[in-house]
Amino acid sequence: MVTRAKLAGVAALLGLLVVVPLRAKDDPPGESLSPRSGPTAQNPDQSLAQEAAELKTIRLVYANALRVLATGSRDDAIAAIVLLERRQAGKVASPDLRRLEAAESSLARKLGELDSESLVPVMLVHHDLVEEYRRLGEFVLSDASGQRAATLAELYSAGSGDAQARSLAGGLVASLAGQAQKEGLFDGTKTLFDRALTLDPGCEPALIGLGALFEVHGRYELAVASLGQLRTAHPENWHGVLRLGVNLVRIGRHEHGIPALRSCLDKAAPQWVAVLASEELARALLAEDKPDEAAAVLRQAADRFPNQAGLLVELALALERRHRPFEARRVLARLEELPIAPELSPRLRYCKWPHEEIAAARERLAQAATSRLPALAGVLERLEPEGE
């Protein structure tokens, strides 16, 4: 978390106070790095010279922040970039924001030309800045950081070109989509998931995230298409198989949905997936007027997972359909004996946005970024003689 005290400490550490003085409470939010003095009208040569000087100043400060990052001081690097970007661009879109983007992007392109692997720690920092800026109330800078991170991921993938780079780049963009998904931004989320799949067509968090997004918005055919791709690329993703089965049944394709749900009863599947698959499989069988099969599925599941209330409710329903009301009541009476579950029920867990795949992608990125800090340090050393 970036505090004002940390900003001051990092500024002193990097020697930024002369270049980027800390903003006082009454400073205008859009005041830029270098104070503009003199007459407002300038001739074109003066304007170009001033623009070039400001771009160079931003690159120097940004490079210093990346040098801090290369030492492993991630929090200090984030604080330094926040200091730079808040001072330069403020809270509103402006030419200063475009100048900031141009300066940082030009340095990033240089890093990528010298060693594409040096971009991994940089793109992850800008990814993490998305939520940091939201916490600070800087929504314009948050959006800009997300765009910067996605662009850096695309630059990294193009520069490296191997499967691991495509996977890391796709995972980062999918993680950005996951952040947008939590904000309820359908169009922005879909766009980012699509960008992730352009980088890595088998991107696991993007495929399941996109499938869940379509499902929540009632676009079940599109959900099936995305989740079908996920099953082909990652057949061991039981969560994805469960969602695929549920959505196949929703669109009336029981001949494919029921086998998908049955496969989720495998002992290798997570418990919550197996429990919910049993419930959904029983519902599908009841819809086909097969109450005996539905009851058999639920009895087996209830024996396997005796503390799952949902299974008992579904079993009672199946027994009612078989015209066995007294047995159904005995099943429902067992609900009173169940302990209070400390975790989310399987159905509530299903209703939340997929997060495990995105968390795994974020962890892979963190490990990759750490391992590439020496590459970043080496590239920055090579930049110094060039006055970047």
| 184 token code pair | 């309820």
What's the farthest any 2 CA atoms get from each other in the chain? 92
State mean pLDDT over 161-168: 92
Question: Residue 90: which pLDDT band, with cuts at 50, 70 and 90?
Answer: low
pLDDT at 257 over 80: yes
The residue among 72, 211, 91, 68 whose CA lies nearest residue 142 is 91
**Integer Cα distance of 388 and 75 in angstroms:** 23
3-state DSSP call for residue 367? helix
| 377 token code pair | 């340090």
**Integer Cα distance of 308 and 111 in angstroms:** 54
Amino acid letter, 133: Y
CB count within 10 Å of CB 12 equals: 11
Q: Are 261 and 277 in contact (CB under 8 A)?
A: yes
Locus of tokens 């003199």: 38
**Domains plus CATH for the chain?**
1-22+50-160 (no CATH), 264-348 (1.25.40.10)
Distance from the Cα of residue 148 to its chain's centroid? 14
Rg for the chain, CA atoms, rounded: 27
pLDDT at 331 over 50: yes
**Integer Cα distance of 303 and 239 in angstroms:** 22
Q: Is the pTM of this model over 0.75?
A: yes
**Integer Cα distance of 194 and 189 in angstroms:** 9
Locus of tokens 């800087």: 138
Q: Please report how many Cα atoms fall inside a 13 Å half-sphere around the Cα of residue 353, on the Cβ side.
A: 24
The confidence score (pLDDT) of residue 334 equals 81
pLDDT tens figures, 309-327? 888 888 888 888 877 887 8
The confidence score (pLDDT) of residue 33 equals 45
pLDDT tens figures, 354-380? 999 999 999 999 999 999 999 999 999
Residue 113 vs residues 99, 116, 119, 158, 329: alpha-carbon distances, Å: 21, 6, 10, 11, 71
Amino acid letter, 349: R
Amino acid letter, 212: A
